[in-house]
Structure 1
Amino acid sequence: MSAEPHPTLPPVRLPADAELARDALGVPLFARAVRLARWAGPDTRVEIGGELAADQLPLAARELGLDTSDEDSVVYASQAWRVAVDTGLVDVTEPEEASGEAEGEPGTAAPGEDLALVTRGTPGDVLDLWLAALDTVLADAAVPDLDDLVDALDAGGEIDFDRLDWNPGREADFLDGVLANLYLLTVAEGGTADGPVPLPVLAASMVVPDGMGDPTDAVLEQVSDAMMRLDDQFRQLEPIGLVEYRPVDEALMAETEADEPAGDAGGAGGAGDDEEDVSRYGMVRLTPLGRYGIRARMLEAGVEAPAVGDLADKGADALLDGVARYPESAAQAEIEQWLAGRETPTAVAELLAAARGDDEGAPLRRLRCQQALAPAGPEAEPVVRAVLDDPELGGLARVWLAERGVADVPAPDGAMVFWLTVDTIAAQLAADGETEELPLLMETLTAHHTGFFDQVWRVEHPATADVLEAMGRLHPDKKAAKEARKAAFKARSRQS
């Protein structure tokens, strides 16, 4: 898998390994591979490359309970056998070459040592076997169909790759890119989550250049071609449990070929299409097992692909730094898992200590710390009270105590109010950028302080000038925005 499909990935939510392993054992292709591994024995003959001998394929299909009158049954049996061999579920001894007039010994097969892991291994062992099976299926999915291969044979019976217009590395990278995009659409905040993605959307994500307005006819034709490739590939990937896939409606494609421009399929999923029309162009979703599989491949390629729960056994500093860039819901889920394994007073003390700092990431750490403290009960009060006089945490502590209606909380002095205002806006800017809600927050924070901008530029906070410059751009009151720009200039001059 390409090592840099996306610079940063949101955390994915995954079931426990035991649940994923059960899913893996139940997917059709892997289950068939296990069944054939148990069937392999002294009478099983194999050819060069470990493939089942031709006369063995109907027997294998019958063992799998497939209808041997269906010509596809031997294809399914052959694929399951290849997965069994590639994963180590089956050990093969390839046939000996003939010597002179003597015929060589046929190849043999037997259950492999790894077959025992299916029933006696850990969930991680089962998932490793499934990942190996996935590699086999992905490699097969990147190969053109048989008709294209036959058409590309040269006079010597070799594949003419130039004529085929197929580059193995390029095809593998394309499929990896598609799966990376599908993964990102699945895990992104506001993304599809468990919902399906229209195939035209996925194809367009690989073909349409960034920033292009209305795609040209040539680009739409490329989208349509990509859809057809993906339709075939997702049909192959569904039996291994990576995706759930509703194929392109063959009747629709017949209509398109007869009556519609080639690029029309690329526009499916647009604002005028109803759900039924969109689904006819194909719909795909990653299963939980699929999310696990794509993430595992990304990690192997060096991509940072976090999962909710990764930080549960880490310190509070790692937690706050880690969730700083998470979407809010994912950050909350990670925090809840972290808190679940700790005594509340100890956890609160660790979080408060980790929230200190004057580095660039500190405001966002304090925002996440406040989020982490939200579920803490009365047992946290003494620990929170202990930081009331802390210049960096005192404001946070007062907010927490006030939200719980705690009495005798000392009012903050002016310096703390201004410092907390700068820190809060800096955190919001770091978390979400210049959102539509931020101007309202700025107006709310400054409305109750006469002469706010005459004083705030003096605040000893590393982000003071940056915050004031943002307020100068975003504050909804024009007069206040002008005052903010003047204050920003003073703060920047003071820092210099």
Structure 2
Amino acid sequence: MSAEPHSTLPPVRLHSDAELARDALVAPLFARAVRPARWAGPDTRVDVGGELVADQLPAAAEVLGLDPADEDSPVYASQAWRVAVDTGLVDVTEPEEDSGDGADGAEPEYGTAAPGEDLPLLASGAPADVLDLWLAALDTVLADAAVPDLDDLVDALDAGGDIDFDRLDWNPQREADFLDGVLANLYLLSVSEGAPGDGRVPLPVLAASMIMSDDMGDPSDAVLEQVSDAMMRLDDQFRQLEPIGLVDYQPVDEALMAEADDLADADAVAGGPGQAEDDEDITRYGMVRLTPLGLYGVRARMLEAGVEAPAVGELAGKGADALLDAVSFYPEGAAQAEIEQWLAGRDLPAAVAELLAAARGDDEAAPLRRLRCQQALTPAGPEAEPAVRAVLDDPQLGGLARVWLAEHGAADVPAPDQEMVFWLTVDTIAAQLAADGETEELPLLMRSLTEHHAGFFDQVWRVEHPATAYVLEAMGRLHPDKKAAKEARKAAFKARSRRP
């Protein structure tokens, strides 16, 4: 699967393995696969490929509680059986391929089936065992979802009854990659800070994310038709993926299916999750969200493909240096959640000392580490005070320590000297630039940090901070006071000139 680099892929908040395993066991298709696995025995007959022979499908349908007379029941039974075989819930011994089909009067040979050795894991195994079996079932369902529908296959039959793959225009790898890409985009939309509250994404938005680039202007009719075609494919695929528990899906309104040419109207395609209420009723075009189990499943596939997809809580057992390095790239909410889990169960004074030590440094990422450290210390109580006071004389941490002590009402907080004030100003702005870029709020922060110091720009360029010139250049672009911005540009030039 493909995804953005780890620095732009936010961490996901997963349910516990026990909760996810319970979700897996009640996923309709997975639960259906368990029943024929328990039913399999000496009289179960299979063809080459491990498929149930046709005359056994009615009995399998009954095991599933389906009406054997219903024309769809054999399809459901066959699908459940295939999932059971592919996941190891059933062990099959296939017949020899040259054993005959009974056409010469001889009785055809069949293979046999029996409950698989993995079947008991559903009752006695660990949650991780259940989830491994569910992931295997997911692989089967995803492979099925990438196959063209029956109508397309029938249309592609040649005179000899074989599938003409050129006419079908079906490339298995391309289709699998497309579906993986869709799920990766849905995952990213689900875990981003600005994700919709209920996690539901309009189908036009998801389809457009696969067809339209971010810098594309008004889409052409040809592009809109591609989006419409993608929506129709996704509508069919999500209907197949919902029974395995991967997604919650509200299908495209059947009334709109009859007006497929209207599905790719520009408003629906150009809108985003936050615009759904402004559209005519975009829910009619289909809505989808990854379930908690789906988030787990897509992330597992990403990890298997070598994509770095972090999860909140996975740093709990690592050192403070690893924690601060990682959360420096997290959105603020996710960073706070990770920090809280890291602190839980630790001796707080020792943890605070470790965080402060990890926040030191002159490297490019150090200002943001110190910002995350300050964020981590915010909820700490009086027991953290000794460790914080221990760094009051530290040139890199002394300002941070004074801010924390003042905010927590501590007594006898020494005033910082001017050099520390200027250093902390540079460090704070550098951290904000690294965290969020040039936001609308940053000019206001610059004004707040500089307006109380007469002659600020005459002195700040001398600050021994690696980011001094970089910060001053940013202030020259962004400071809301034109005179101050001009002074910042002059100071940036001086700062650059004094460095070898």
Match of 1:458 in 2: 462
1:116 counterpart = 2:120: yes
Match of 2:99 in 1: 98
1:145 counterpart = 2:149: yes
Cα shift readout 1:411-432 (whole Å, capped 9, x = no counterpart): 0000000000000000000000
CA distance in 1, matches of 2:161, 2:482: 76
TM-score between the two structures when normalised by the length of structure 2: 0.96
One-letter identity of the residue aligned with 2:94: E
1:154 counterpart = 2:158: yes
CA distance in 1, matches of 2:92, 2:490: 78
Equivalent pair of 1:40/1:110 in contact (CA under 8 Å): yes
Alignment of 1:169-248 (within 5 A): 169-192=173-196, 194-248=198-252
For structure 1, the 5+ residue unaligned runs are: none
Between stretches 261-270 and 415-424, larger displacement belongs to 261-270
Match of 2:421 in 1: 417
Equivalent pair of 1:224/1:265 in contact (CA under 8 Å): no
Cα shift readout 1:431-453 (whole Å, capped 9, x = no counterpart): 00000000000000001000000
Cα shift readout 1:186-229 (whole Å, capped 9, x = no counterpart): 00111135421000000000011331121111110111000000
Cα shift readout 1:383-437 (whole Å, capped 9, x = no counterpart): 1101000000000000000001111110000000000000000000000000000
Cα separation, partners in 2 of 1:36 and 1:275, compared to 1, 3 Å: farther
Cα shift readout 1:311-361 (whole Å, capped 9, x = no counterpart): 000000000001001000000000000000201001000000000000000
1:262 Cα deviation after fit: 6.1
Alignment of 1:364-375 (within 5 A): 364-375=368-379
For structure 2, the 5+ residue unaligned runs are: none
One-letter identity of the residue aligned with 1:49: G
1:429 counterpart = 2:433: yes
Equivalent pair of 2:199/2:289 in contact (CA under 8 Å): yes
RMSD: 1.7
Cα separation, partners in 2 of 1:272 and 1:38, compared to 1, 3 Å: closer
Cα separation, partners in 2 of 1:179 and 1:6, compared to 1, 3 Å: farther
Equivalent pair of 1:181/1:202 in contact (CA under 8 Å): yes
- Name the SS of the counterpart of 2:380 in structure 1: coil
1:21 counterpart = 2:21: yes
Cα separation, partners in 2 of 1:148 and 1:242, compared to 1, 3 Å: same
Equivalent pair of 1:200/1:266 in contact (CA under 8 Å): no
- Name the SS of the counterpart of 1:435 in structure 2: coil
CA distance in 1, matches of 2:5, 2:331: 19
1:3 Cα deviation after fit: 6.7
1:151 Cα deviation after fit: 1.3
1:153 Cα deviation after fit: 1.6
CA distance in 2, matches of 1:59, 1:102: 25
Match of 1:388 in 2: 392
Match of 1:68 in 2: 68
1:72 Cα deviation after fit: 1.5
TM-score between the two structures when normalised by the length of structure 1: 0.96
1:448 to 420, 440, 452: 452
Equivalent pair of 2:30/2:244 in contact (CA under 8 Å): yes
1:354 counterpart = 2:358: yes
Cα separation, partners in 2 of 1:13 and 1:487, compared to 1, 3 Å: same
One-letter identity of the residue aligned with 1:305: A
Equivalent pair of 2:320/2:355 in contact (CA under 8 Å): yes
Equivalent pair of 1:220/1:266 in contact (CA under 8 Å): no
- Name the SS of the counterpart of 2:248 in structure 1: strand
Match of 2:264 in 1: 263
Identity %: 83
Equivalent pair of 1:153/1:160 in contact (CA under 8 Å): yes
Cα shift readout 1:152-178 (whole Å, capped 9, x = no counterpart): 122333221110011111100100000
Equivalent pair of 1:5/1:177 in contact (CA under 8 Å): no
2:288 to 268, 271, 284: 284
- Name the SS of the counterpart of 1:114 in structure 2: coil
Cα separation, partners in 2 of 1:372 and 1:482, compared to 1, 3 Å: same
CA distance in 2, matches of 1:472, 1:160: 65
1:102 Cα deviation after fit: 4.4
Match of 1:309 in 2: 313
Q: How many residues align structurally?
A: 493
CA distance in 2, matches of 1:140, 1:150: 17
Alignment of 1:326-341 (within 5 A): 326-341=330-345
Between stretches 260-269 and 389-398, larger displacement belongs to 260-269
1:273 Cα deviation after fit: 6.0
CA distance in 1, matches of 2:294, 2:459: 55
Equivalent pair of 1:95/1:104 in contact (CA under 8 Å): no
1:495 Cα deviation after fit: 1.3
One-letter identity of the residue aligned with 2:165: F
CA distance in 2, matches of 1:4, 1:480: 38
One-letter identity of the residue aligned with 1:175: L
Equivalent pair of 1:5/1:180 in contact (CA under 8 Å): no
1:98 Cα deviation after fit: 2.5
Match of 2:32 in 1: 32
Match of 2:46 in 1: 46
Match of 1:168 in 2: 172
- Name the SS of the counterpart of 1:13 in structure 2: coil
CA distance in 2, matches of 1:140, 1:290: 17
CA distance in 2, matches of 1:143, 1:381: 62
Equivalent pair of 1:269/1:278 in contact (CA under 8 Å): no
- Name the SS of the counterpart of 1:335 in structure 2: helix
Cα separation, partners in 2 of 1:385 and 1:7, compared to 1, 3 Å: closer
CA distance in 2, matches of 1:266, 1:408: 61
One-letter identity of the residue aligned with 1:8: T
Equivalent pair of 2:36/2:63 in contact (CA under 8 Å): yes
Cα separation, partners in 2 of 1:232 and 1:365, compared to 1, 3 Å: same
- Name the SS of the counterpart of 1:41 in structure 2: coil
1:184 Cα deviation after fit: 0.3
CA distance in 2, matches of 1:133, 1:33: 9
Equivalent pair of 1:42/1:110 in contact (CA under 8 Å): yes
- Name the SS of the counterpart of 1:115 in structure 2: coil
Between stretches 178-187 and 193-202, larger displacement belongs to 193-202
- Name the SS of the counterpart of 1:48 in structure 2: coil
Equivalent pair of 2:219/2:266 in contact (CA under 8 Å): no
Match of 1:378 in 2: 382
1:344 counterpart = 2:345: no
- Name the SS of the counterpart of 2:132 in structure 1: helix
1:264 Cα deviation after fit: 2.5
1:36 Cα deviation after fit: 1.1
- Name the SS of the counterpart of 1:388 in structure 2: coil
One-letter identity of the residue aligned with 1:11: P
